[in-house]
């Protein structure tokens, strides 16, 4: 498949997209202490629209004034000031003809910079693996979380739904992505070793997906059927990079079938390398497995798709869109460079050091 397919138009629900190239969600911790996005973030996001991306998926936004905030200086979407900050960004994006999707998230056990409270919640009271992330201002081990009760679980579902409605109605976003990946709360419920529950929120791989499915249903009910709604899933986590789903390909097929039946408009899959086999005993990538298990569900592929060749291969494997991460930071004009056969800049890891906030050089 040639890279020309990257420039075909498409739609996700009623959201019209001029090409198949999106900006991946990337945590840049550049809001104010109290979670308000400002002019710096406006300039940061606008560059991607000028560079030709069809849509931007934001960094993860926290959804309550309780346990959901994950990192210091993370943007939220839980009050009027935060909504107004995002509205200024979405208005600028729309003025330039761009589209922007809000990714909503809850930290769960791996919160490391919450201004609202210092304790954490999780499906089970199990010590998280790994250590807090230094480039997001964390240090040392994660705290031991408390096991969530039914009321707290329902509050999380309600917070996702309420914040999604705020994102569309007040902040002017074009769609919603639920963050069910990378080790955060929904992924903690989905993961075998972090979810030891014996109630309806625990069990086999499909049962452990129950909270994610409940959030999808609640968000859909609040925003209606015309709003673009997606879900992001992964195997690896920020605190357990090499994790693989224990149930392997068979379990993945069950998960993708359930997600398709849940009524989302897209599945956003992120892997360290999206093109590589997902499991040791299968030659298929996660994208290929999802395409077979959910043949009609639009898929966004993410992970090491840094150039035209790898991005085109992801489409060939069955993805409908690609999301570009670090290569987009190095090349905010990535689509235009690919279209015009201009050499891509190499990503400089120092851009995310000593912290991952937006640097002055990115605002030019």
CA distance 183 to 189: 9
- 8 A C-beta contact, residue 218 and residue 161: yes
Give the number of other Cβ atoms within 10 Å of residue 199's Cβ: 12
* Alpha-helical runs (H) found in the chain: 39-50, 80-95, 150-169, 185-190, 210-223, 248-261, 286-293, 308-317, 326-330, 334-339
Q: What is the DSSP string of 138-170?
A: --SBPPPPEEP-HHHHHHHHHHHHHHHHHHHHT
Instruction: Please check whether residue 254 is in contact with residue 190, taking contact to mean a CB–CB distance below 8 angstroms.
Output: no
The DSSP call for residue 360 is G
- Cβ atoms within 10 Å of 7's Cβ, excluding its own: 16
Exactly one of 62, 71, 184, 266 is catalytic; name it: 184
Distance CA 247, CA 1 (A): 32
Q: Are 211 and 132 in contact (CB under 8 A)?
A: no
Q: Which residue has the tokens 């569900």?
A: 297
Told to judge if 184 belongs to the known catalytic residues of this protein, a careful annotator would answer yes
Name the one residue in this structure whose structure tokens are 């809850």. 106
Show which residues are catalytic.
184
């Amino acid at each position: 498949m040639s890279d020309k397919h990257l420039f075909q138009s498409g739609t996700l629900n009623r959201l019209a997209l001029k090409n198949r190239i999106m900006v991946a969600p990337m945590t840049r911790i550049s809001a104010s202490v109290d979670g308000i996005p400002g002019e710096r973030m406006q300039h940061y996001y606008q560059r991607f629209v000028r560079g030709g991306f069809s849509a931007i998926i934001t960094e993860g936004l926290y959804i309550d004034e309780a346990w959901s905030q994950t990192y210091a200086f993370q943007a939220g979407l839980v009050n009027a000031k935060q909504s107004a900050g995002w509205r200024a960004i979405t208005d600028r994006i729309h003025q330039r003809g761009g589209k922007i999707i809000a990714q909503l998230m809850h930290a769960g056990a791996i919160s490391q910079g919450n201004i609202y409270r210092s304790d954490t919640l999780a499906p089970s009271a199990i010590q998280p693996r790994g250590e807090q992330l230094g480039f997001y201002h964390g240090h040392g081990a994660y705290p031991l979380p408390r096991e969530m009760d039914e009321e707290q679980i329902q509050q999380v579902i309600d917070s996702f739904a309420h914040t999604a409605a705020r994102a569309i109605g007040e902040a002017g976003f074009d769609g919603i992505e639920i963050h069910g990946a990378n080790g955060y709360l929904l992924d903690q419920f989905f993961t075998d070793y972090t979810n030891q529950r014996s109630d309806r929120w625990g069990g086999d791989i499909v049962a452990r997906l129950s909270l994610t499915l409940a959030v999808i249903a609640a968000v859909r009910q609040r925003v209606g059927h015309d709003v673009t709604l997606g879900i992001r899933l992964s195997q690896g986590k920020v605190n357990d990079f090499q994790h693989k789903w224990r149930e392997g390909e068979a379990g993945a097929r069950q998960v993708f079938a359930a997600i398709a039946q849940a009524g989302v408009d897209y599945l956003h899959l992120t892997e360290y390398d999206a093109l590589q086999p997902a499991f040791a005993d299968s030659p298929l990538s996660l994208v290929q497995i999802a395409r077979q298990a959910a043949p009609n569900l639009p898929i966004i592929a993410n992970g090491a798709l840094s150039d035209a060749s790898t991005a085109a291969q992801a489409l060939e494997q069955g993805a409908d869109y690609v999301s570009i991460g670090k290569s987009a930071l190095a090349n905010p004009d990535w689509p235009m460079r690919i279209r015009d056969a201009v050499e891509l800049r190499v990503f400089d890891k120092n851009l995310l050091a000593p912290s991952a906030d937006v640097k002055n050089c990115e605002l030019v």
